[in-house]
Structure 1
Amino acid sequence: MKPLPAPSPTSVRITGDHYQWLIAWTGCLTLLRENAIHTANPVISVGVEADDAGNLDDVVLRRRTPPHTYTQVKYTVSSATPVNEDYLTKPSPTGGPSILKKIAKTWRALTADGIDADLAIVTNRAPDPNDALIAVRDARTQLLLPKAADGTARSKTGQARTRWAQNAGLSETELHELLSCLRFDLSRELAHVNGQLQLLMAVCGLRNDSRAVDEGANWVAQQVRDGHRTLTLDMVKAAVDSLDLKTGPAHAILSISTLKSDPLAAEADHTINWIDRFETDSEYTKRRPLAPATWAQLQADIEAAPTRLPGRTDISVSGSLRLAPAFLTGTAFRMVTGADLAVLQRGDLWSTRDTYDAECAPVVEEYDIGQGEDLAVGINVTVKAEDFTQDVLEYVEGQNIPASRLLIVTPPAGPKDRSVLDSPAANALAVGIRNALRRPARTTPRIHLFLACPMGLALLLGHRWNRLRPTVVYEDVSTAQVYEPAFFIQA
């Protein structure tokens, strides 16, 4: 691929504006979704270049009750300048106040009456890993605190605090107060913003292709050109209708992450973050909880999720999790509870609401085990048949699982990559698998379940796991024995 020519000043300005419209459209989606699911303190309007927000006026989310969110959006086509002390404290190109001093002035004005505020810098610039304060930013909250408050006045962080306070015209106590509400939302590349918007549009029940994202951002741009600086719920609803974006209901968001960060975590109604509690630093090799964390603790967190989303019936599961946690999440919101689940699978929303013409009856192969009265079940949708069957057989026999037999369940056309293409097919297969297991499981004390399937199918299958026996779910932990028991699920 040939390198692109250097961007012109006009293209830089246009791209920067489009970046801001994308961030504003994100706010519009938050407004739409929170009101649709009746969040306790929803966003009630989105300000774009708001009149009363000082230098944090680019995008303003006003809630029914403060704190409101005031955002400064900064876009650059160059990666040469990271976010660090120099970037934040140097005077503007015309010799005016620094970014930090402008933010401090705005913060003082917004909080003068004792009202809290949520402040944010959103930029595609990366954090400087060598900066004394930026380097201690908490990726979960995007705040520099609490670590920026550590150290004496003579320490590296202490000296940086003094310089920041002097530049901002604040006392160090005031700087601490500012940093307690100023989020640094960094490294938000255009591709990342577009990807997050596609996810958010899906859980809002909207078309979520790249064209739909651009249509939303272009609508924001048109409102600004027409002089509308406050975007209301009615305006956003009318835009959704006029752009023909609506596809289904808006969802509450349950974010569960065990492998990597979830782009929707900040938007989630409940978050379970186990990334640091799983083994290894690589998202590709995380397989099991890192001691002293346990599968039982993760199960308790997941099974408590329904109590954190009271009254919510349409729930979208976002994040990154392996098959056993996905299946458990489905069982936590079983169909009998009245909940409907959805999950993004390869960019498409797989939902338990989706209908199908007829259930998909799987192929079932039986192997004698003769080690007890339980039933072992291997559901294989994606792995080479011989390899999966051999792994499960060797584990069941080698670990003396008290099973009388092993059932290997596969789609009619056999296991292969992309054997389940869409949500209706996944629902049809999930129902077919459940129904195929009900009679064999009727007289067994418990089921031992092994999964090799798309994560979305594991979630949909768990959602329909009713009229079956208590189940032990195993996770592939990529060790010599391949599996280990993860969760015990009551019938």
Structure 2
Amino acid sequence: MVWYWCLRAIAEPDGISSVAVEADDVGNVDDVVVRFADGQSKFIQVKATVASANLANIHWLTDRPQRSGAGRPSPSLLQKLHKSWVDLGRPATGLELITGRPLDGRDGVLALTDRRNSIGTGLRRANSQALTAERRELANHLGCAEAELCEFFDALAIRVGQTEAEWLTRVADIAAAAGIQADKSAVGVALAWVRDWVKDTRDPRTPEQIATAAESMAIRAENPRTVIVVQGLRREPVADANNVLDWVERFRGTEASNRRGMINPADWNGALSDDLAALRTTLIEQNNTRVLLRGALRLPCWFALGAALRGVAGFDLAVEYRGGVWVADQRRITDRSVNILTDERFGNGPTLIVVAMSTDGTDDVRRTLLSSEHGRFITLTIGERPHQSLLADADDALSAAVAIRDWIRASIECREIDLVLMAPAPFAAFLGWSWDRMCTTTIYEDLLDDGYEAAFTISS
């Protein structure tokens, strides 16, 4: 985990100021401390487990082990974390407890965990007799008011079931962005360096110091990724960028939250498509086909970027997403079952397809986009139903994208597809990256209350 954050620092030198391991002066959240350039911090405490039978539940968090000999029991893990939070000035976010213990499915409190891995909101809103009693008991355990208890749990992310294999995958993905080797030998060398760091000094390391250490360890990748930044909804840092596309002023709206659709809709298949074609040509001419995409974009742009840099053209694609890097690695694709939520036939016109991964917007698309010109209307997902955590990582996203593509190849006979995506950004990019030998496809931009706008038209 320490090496993961070191790699993040190498990959994001403008975003991360320093990384420390077993840091001083931060209490019981000292295993890894990450300081960010914007003044925020992340304080991580790791609790390993040697047996899968050891479950993560409230009893584990509140248990007070008996000290050897006489005397009062030791503070519980939760009490230690709360004291550290208070001593750090009660930050609104930034504390993390990471454990290999799997979640105890019978625990009603940890079942409140949201997608930020926090239980603060759920505990605050709880109104059942059992949960209100748990909330009161937890506040008494910490010696604080219930309001403070919820604020503490707002700040604390509890990540359960974290395995070494999962972290090695994360290391491999971020190493690709950092231009660092991620084979077993390279990771072993890096972990030996981390152990020496802990033994010799606990001083924080800057991105420059970590990058210098990587050079001395001779674990730099021979062919680092070319960083491509696309300025869409807002402008992103470009200090490490090899190529920059700036589309901000072409969108309607004044800020990231309301930028939707083109001021001039012809720009989708005009200026923006021309930029993508020129980027593709430049990268091929320079033999820079290992790329890392960064940007704040809506789904049609991600899809079009992937389609411009397709796998069949030799591009090796990675996407920065929510503080990590998702890599399209075909070697890790697994079979996924496509679930057909809607399939209605009307005639011989274009097929309107909704790919619903994070939410099912079938009714909205039916109301605002489906027309008498369409010959078929389909909604597809993976597994039982769409939901926000359906795609947990890059392997999930690529496997789902390939499954959706293969189903459409086998099942759609028309010459034109109208496509609407409801999914995480990497899925859209990976779907475009995989979109070869397909019908001519027009992807649509969601304008919320104003329906949909035809965006890029992609020909295989």
Q: Is the 8 A contact 1:194 1:210 kept in 2?
A: no
Q: Is the 8 A contact 1:123 1:185 kept in 2?
A: yes
Any stretches of 5+ residues in structure 1 without a counterpart?
1-22, 255-295, 297-302, 307-311, 318-323, 349-370, 375-398, 402-445, 475-486
Counterpart CA distance in 2 for 1:63 and 1:71 is 14
Report the counterpart of residue 259 of structure 1 in structure 2. Answer: none
Q: Is the 8 A contact 2:47 2:97 kept in 1?
A: yes
Q: Is the 8 A contact 2:24 2:202 kept in 1?
A: no
Matched, 1:490 2:448: no
Question: CA RMSD, aligned part only?
Answer: 4.5
Report the counterpart of residue 174 of structure 1 in structure 2. Answer: 148
Report the counterpart of residue 101 of structure 2 in structure 1. Answer: 125
Deviation readout 1:248-307 (Å, 9 max, x if unpaired): 1475799xxxxxxxxxxxxxxxxxxxxxxxxxxxxxxxxxxxxxxxxx9xxxxxx9xx9x
Q: Is the 8 A contact 2:92 2:151 kept in 1?
A: no
Report the counterpart of residue 142 of structure 1 in structure 2. Answer: 117
Matched, 1:25 2:3: yes
Measured at CA, do residues 250 and 190 of structure 1 come closer, stay the same or move farther in structure 2, by a change above 3 Å?
farther
| Aligned pair partner of 1:78 in 23, 43, 51 | 51
Measured at CA, do residues 67 and 169 of structure 1 come closer, stay the same or move farther in structure 2, by a change above 3 Å?
farther
Q: Is the 8 A contact 1:110 1:117 kept in 2?
A: no
Measured at CA, do residues 213 and 473 of structure 1 come closer, stay the same or move farther in structure 2, by a change above 3 Å?
farther
Counterpart CA distance in 1 for 2:144 and 2:229 is 39
How far is the alpha carbon of 1:329 from its aligned partner? 4.6
AA of the residue aligned to 1:50? A
Deviation readout 1:299-357 (Å, 9 max, x if unpaired): xxxx9xx9xxxxx995349xxxxxx99864524789xxxx9954432359xxxxxxxxx
| Aligned pair partner of 2:292 in 299, 305, 315 | 315
How far is the alpha carbon of 1:245 from its aligned partner? 2.4
AA of the residue aligned to 2:18? S
How far is the alpha carbon of 1:229 from its aligned partner? 3.5
User: How do 1:76-475 and structure 2 match up within 5 A?
Assistant: 76-94=49-67, 95-111=73-89, 116-138=92-114, 140-152=115-127, 155-247=129-221, 248-249=224-225, 251=227, 315-316=292-293, 328-331=304-307, 341-342=317-318, 343-346=327-330, 448=416, 459-460=432-433, 471-472=440-441
Measured at CA, do residues 489 and 100 of structure 1 come closer, stay the same or move farther in structure 2, by a change above 3 Å?
same
Counterpart CA distance in 2 for 1:50 and 1:373 is 63
Counterpart CA distance in 2 for 1:332 and 1:346 is 18
Counterpart CA distance in 2 for 1:59 and 1:174 is 25
Counterpart CA distance in 2 for 1:252 and 1:165 is 48
TM-score (norm 2): 0.54
Q: Is the 8 A contact 1:203 1:316 kept in 2?
A: no
Measured at CA, do residues 347 and 243 of structure 1 come closer, stay the same or move farther in structure 2, by a change above 3 Å?
farther
Measured at CA, do residues 461 and 59 of structure 1 come closer, stay the same or move farther in structure 2, by a change above 3 Å?
closer
How far is the alpha carbon of 1:145 from its aligned partner? 3.1
Report the counterpart of residue 481 of structure 1 in structure 2. Answer: none
Measured at CA, do residues 252 and 54 of structure 1 come closer, stay the same or move farther in structure 2, by a change above 3 Å?
farther
How far is the alpha carbon of 1:75 from its aligned partner? 0.5
Report the counterpart of residue 43 of structure 1 in structure 2. Answer: 16
Counterpart CA distance in 1 for 2:125 and 2:37 is 35
Counterpart CA distance in 2 for 1:80 and 1:330 is 43
Number of equivalences: 291
Counterpart CA distance in 2 for 1:107 and 1:137 is 19
Could you tell me the percent identity over the aligned residues?
A: 26
Measured at CA, do residues 216 and 459 of structure 1 come closer, stay the same or move farther in structure 2, by a change above 3 Å?
farther
AA of the residue aligned to 1:122? I
How far is the alpha carbon of 1:34 from its aligned partner? 1.4
Q: Is the 8 A contact 2:20 2:32 kept in 1?
A: yes
Q: Is the 8 A contact 1:203 1:253 kept in 2?
A: no
Q: Is the 8 A contact 1:206 1:246 kept in 2?
A: yes
How far is the alpha carbon of 1:81 from its aligned partner? 2.1
Counterpart CA distance in 2 for 1:53 and 1:105 is 10
TM-score (norm 1): 0.51
How far is the alpha carbon of 1:456 from its aligned partner? 9.3
Q: Is the 8 A contact 1:66 1:116 kept in 2?
A: no
Counterpart CA distance in 2 for 1:111 and 1:333 is 46
Deviation readout 1:206-261 (Å, 9 max, x if unpaired): 2222332232222111111112332222221112212222221475799xxxxxxx
Counterpart CA distance in 1 for 2:349 and 2:145 is 72
- Give the SS at the match of 1:187: coil
AA of the residue aligned to 1:145? G
Counterpart CA distance in 1 for 2:135 and 2:190 is 40
Q: Is the 8 A contact 1:470 1:488 kept in 2?
A: no
Deviation readout 1:364-417 (Å, 9 max, x if unpaired): xxxxxxx9999xxxxxxxxxxxxxxxxxxxxxxxx989xxxxxxxxxxxxxxxx
How far is the alpha carbon of 1:117 from its aligned partner? 4.6
Q: Is the 8 A contact 1:326 1:458 kept in 2?
A: no
Greater Cα radius of gyration, structure 1 or 2: 1
Measured at CA, do residues 147 and 74 of structure 1 come closer, stay the same or move farther in structure 2, by a change above 3 Å?
same
Report the counterpart of residue 272 of structure 1 in structure 2. Answer: none
AA of the residue aligned to 2:190? G
Measured at CA, do residues 400 and 30 of structure 1 come closer, stay the same or move farther in structure 2, by a change above 3 Å?
closer
- Give the SS at the match of 2:213: helix
Measured at CA, do residues 329 and 175 of structure 1 come closer, stay the same or move farther in structure 2, by a change above 3 Å?
same
